[in-house]
Structure 1
Amino acid sequence: MPSKNHAEAPPPPEPLRIAVADSHTHLDMQSGTVEEALAAAAAVGVNTLVQVGCDLKGSRWAAETAAAYADVHAAVALHPNEAPRVVLGDPDGWSRQGAREAGGEAALDEQLAQIDALAALEQVKAVGETGLDFFRTGDEGRAAQERSFRAHVEIAKRHGKALVIHDRDAHEDVLRVLKEEGAPERTVFHCYSGDAQMAEICAREGYYMSFAGNVTFKNAQNLRDAVAVAPVELLLVETDAPFLTPSPWRGRPNAPYLIPVTVRAMAEVRGMPEEALCEAIAANTARAFGYRAP
């Protein structure tokens, strides 16, 4: 599995005394094998991983990997930036470079049908990451994103699976679509990017908030404020690896074994014992994704 970041991997942190789950990772984008990633994570108290697909290929890989490893669960979806690429061949999807090969709405429907089929599998615990991303996608691609998002909401509800939200520079519109469509019973804001006020809205709706390594960044006070006010029973932790490596290792490749760094930062913000937060996160993640905690 090739890594997008070839810098030296950070050293392993001190192990957690109570194990937790990494609620969102991309093993297919990391270096090394699945076995190596699981072993490194287990050695520091991370005993469960949610492997997340971003396109059809990645979603199939997630489902296959979850079927092969008891400690891995799958989430399947077309990433918000994938939808305009499929519909428009849109450079505002994943990249502002490249050829324009329009597929149209029929192509998106076909891919969504395949995501639907994957979502029915037992080892697939969630539909996502889906949502809206206005950071990369321009006005031309927003209709395709929203169409795809609404379809993923319907798929998650029909299969009784959790919904994993990708929300970048689109808070109001993500919340609007969830209200209009009716959010699934278990909805997770992956890599939570809002502030304390939005956290209060999510809390009222019962949405889980999953925090990544960027909660440790100096310029991320909004995230720490959100951690402080979010109900402990709605808190999750993730790596989004190989991205968002926590400080002091920012810029190096991320991996599930670095979860303890983020957990300890969250515990410090809340002023609560590390063990108590770990117990809550472990229970919350199992409840959110509908699996039996190890």
Structure 2
Amino acid sequence: MPVHLKPLPAGRFDEWRGAARQRLIDGNRASGRRVGDDAVAFADEYFDELLPHGAATPTARVMRILDEGRRELGTLWLVLAGTKLFLLDLAVETELTGTQNDELVARILTIAHDMGATQISVPLLPQDAAGHALVDDRGFTVASIQMVLEPLPSRDVAAHVEVLPMTAERFPRFVTASEAGFAQDLVASGRFSPEDAAAESHRQLVEELPDGLATPGQELFTATVDGVEVGILWLGMRERDGHAHAFVLDIEVAADQRRKGYGRELMHAAEREARRLGADSIGLHVFGFNAAAVELYESLGYRRTEETLLREL
């Protein structure tokens, strides 16, 4: 049965906003992406930023999903940023059929073309059944994955890789390689053009390391085996629901040292350093195309807390 999209009446906007905000809070807490008061603070900032003018925000559309008989099946929220259209909230009263999901994607594609978008991006939490049913097998690919490991495990493993604080002499080479590598990954993920990727990679590095190696809360290490450098590790210390939380900002095994198990040992080292720094959890981001890294992290007990899927137009 075909579905149609119609704008949400202005008189229903506040009700929808309150319900969508609560869905975001509950979803983040359930997935572990953000927990406790962190989920509330994020949701409030999120809606204030993306809907600064409420229902009149020109880059946002809240739509009713209607069946052929004009019965309402649910709502969805679309936001245009640059040339990327984000599907940020999908709420349906009952599970849509495959045909209805086909029709819904077709309607979203039409809106995307009308708004000048070149990509559709859909962030999804693991438990978002309606969202996954919508994008599965309909031209979307996993661009990026957020993961968490909690609590930190106590592993009885020998430490063959030694991690030591990065020296000032080593730091400039690290910055150059890390910025270039992240830009390449952004392009490979399909999320950025080469020019935009270079700018975004530089922006994020400056934001994380405004004072270089002396930036508080940033822990950078070189990894060695028998005095030979085999890789680097970068942990950014965060706060998660009032507790110290480590985030793996960069981890790299040197090209000539790969396939020796050092990647796994570096992750074990990250756990040890995180615990030493007072954290009880570790988070990380991995690009969807990096299947080997995803497999490694999941084998270590990391679980997915959010995925972003993309479809090119």
Give the TM bin, normalised by the shorter chain: under 0.3
Higher percent of residues as helix: 1
The structure with more radius of gyration: 2
After TM superposition, the score normalised by the length of structure 2 is 0.26
After TM superposition, the score normalised by the length of structure 1 is 0.27
